[in-house]
Amino acid sequence: MPIAERMIRRVADFAVIKNMFEEGRRLKERFGAENVYDFSLGNPDVPPPEEFRAALRELVRSDTLSFGYAPVAGHLPLRQALARRLSTEHGTPVPPEMVVVTVGAAGALNDILRALVNPGEEILTPAPYFLGYDNYAFLTDAVLKTAPTDARFHLDLAAIERAITPQTRVVLINSPNNPSGAVYAAAEINGLGRLLAAASDRLGGRIYLVCDEPYRRIVFDAEVAPVMAAYPHTVVVNSFSKELSLAGERIGYFAVHPQAEDAETIRDAAAAVNSMLVVNAPGLLQQAVARVLGAAVDVSAYRRRRDLMGAILNEAGYEFTLPEGAFYLFPKSPVPDDARFADMLKEERILVSPGRAFGVPGYFRISFAVPDVVIRGAREGLIRAMRRAAGA
């Protein structure tokens, strides 16, 4: 075998997702893209805000634009602006030195998990969870463990407590959540903070909280809780992939709570990983986003699509919780085998992701980061598939 043994299974798992994308492509070739309803990707389609385009144009015209290596932790003006923003969002003063600019939230998570977790130790995350976490745990040589959530996909603190072991180094949460759309309330986050403080004392080792929040600004009547205020041993991860629709431009960051145990050592180690892997985050983008930190995409477009898709799912008789944030719906599969139901939808030229990809079989994920016309076009197929499932 030409590739490392540890990669063999991982590459095979990857192939399942790759095949799903390829199959979507084949369907589009066969039936025409307008006759295929693709809800399988989390790729934002709402355009970036006009301020961002203007900032980029202005930068490109300027003579002072720098194309050299950037400082490993990022350009200082961006770190300063992010520190101000984080201090407001998290109810805790965050100095610029504790903020590191990264290649997306994915880069930030890889940096911080490698800095914190020894090979064989555990990362605990509530399920359903973003499927990238499996890969990041794999690259860290860590074990990804899961704890179930409640019926609305909110935190089940008792389940988290039961799942913590002496090997748990990190509890990794994601709010607003991909794929469930849950936004954890302040009371849940405060409860989690108390639980982690007590578990760390009981087990005699610090459990860190890593909070992944790239959908923070995509919320519908919900507020994302200030996680740093709830537990000092917290690292916040965020990016501009979703809030500015810049997913392909790969720009994100992490911030270590200044009062976290060994905060500076953790920041230095994670920044070192960043440097070892990629040297620095894209420089032009760092300079551009620093100018538009208050901006966000038009969330009303996502709200409209959520409501449109929600109304269709209701009409068809699917069971689901309306998402409080992000741009995914996570309905119950009307047949127990979610992969089979994804195939039934494929026969209707509707592409979704089975819940098992997110650690929760029996559900499926719909990404509503698609034009309204795609949602409307899928209505009849969703109704027909539900009828067929009821007869199955």
Q: Does 149 bind ligand PLP (CB under 6 A)?
A: no
When asked if residue 74 is in the footprint of ligand PLP (CB under 6 A), the reply is no
Residue 124, H or E segment: strand 122-127
For ligand PLP, the closer of residues 104 and 325 by Cβ is 104
CB atoms within 10 A of CB 338: 24
Site for ligand PLP, residues 209 to 228, rule: CB under 6 A: 212, 214
Which residue from 249, 184, 186 is spatially nearest to 213, judged by alpha carbons? Answer: 184
Closest CA to 381 of 353, 352, 349, 355: 349
CA-CA-CA-CA torsion sign (359, 154, 179, 177) = negative
Position 40 contacts ligand PLP (CB under 6 A): no
Q: Does 358 help bind ligand PLP (rule: CB under 6 A)?
A: no
Q: Which stretch binds ligand PLP (CB under 6 A): 202-210, 219-227, 239-247, 352-360?
A: 239-247
Distance (Å, whole) CA 19 – CA 1: 22
According to the binding rule CB under 6 A, does residue 370 interact with ligand PLP?
no
Contact 176, 218 (CB under 8 A): yes
The CA distance from 89 to 81, in Å, is 13
Rule CB under 6 A: say whether 122 interacts with ligand PLP: no
**Beta strand pairing status for 364-367 and 328-329?**
antiparallel
> Cβ 386 to ligand PLP, closest distance in Å?
27
Give residue for tokens 């070192």: 272
Q: How far is the CB of 330 from ligand PLP (least distance, A)?
A: 13
Nearer to ligand PLP, 200 or 239 (CB): 239
Q: How far is the CB of 171 from ligand PLP (least distance, A)?
A: 15
**Closest by alpha carbon to 173, among 137, 211, 226?**
211
Closest by Cα among 336, 326, 303 to 153: 326
Residues 86-105 as x/- pattern, contact with ligand PLP by CB under 6 A: ------------------xx
- Nearest 10 degrees: Cα torsion 224, 230, 233, 236: 10
Q: Which is nearer to ligand PLP, 237 or 309 (CB)?
A: 237
| Rounded-to-integer distance, Cα 212 and Cα 349, Å | 33
CB of 5 to ligand PLP, least distance (A): 28
Residue 130 contacts ligand PLP per CB under 6 A: yes
Q: Is 110 in the site for ligand PLP (CB under 6 A)?
A: no
Question: What are the structure tokens assigned to 292, written together?
Answer: 């538009």
CB of 296 to ligand PLP, least distance (A): 15
Chosen residue from 181, 226, 252, 381 binding ligand PLP by CB under 6 A: 252
The residue of the chain with the least Cβ separation from ligand PLP equals 104
Q: How far is the CB of 387 from ligand PLP (least distance, A)?
A: 32
Among 10, 72, 132, 232, contact with ligand PLP (rule: CB under 6 A): 132
With the CA atoms of 203, 206, 207 and 210 taken in that order, what torsion angle do they form, in degrees rounded to the nearest 10?
A: 180
Residue with Cβ nearer ligand PLP (366 or 386):
366
Helices and strands, number each (H, E), in the chain: 14, 12
Q: How far is the CB of 325 from ligand PLP (least distance, A)?
A: 11
Using CB under 6 A as the binding rule, whether residue 241 contacts ligand PLP is answered as yes
List 175, 178, 245, 353, residue binding ligand PLP (CB under 6 A):
178
Toward ligand PLP, which CB reaches closer, 27 or 108? 108
Beta bridge partners of 256: 235
Map tokens 């030229």 to a residue. 349
Query: Least distance to ligand PLP from the beta carbon of 43, Å?
Result: 8
- Tokens 């990190």 identify what position? 170
Residue closer to ligand PLP (CB basis): 349 or 365: 365
**342 makes contact with ligand PLP (CB under 6 A):** no
Q: Which long-range contacts (CB under 8 A, 24 or more apart) does 337-344 make?
A: 337/361, 338/362, 338/363, 338/364, 341/385, 341/389, 344/385, 344/388, 344/389
Binding site for ligand PLP (CB under 6 A): 42, 104-106, 130, 132, 174, 178, 212, 214, 239, 241, 247, 252
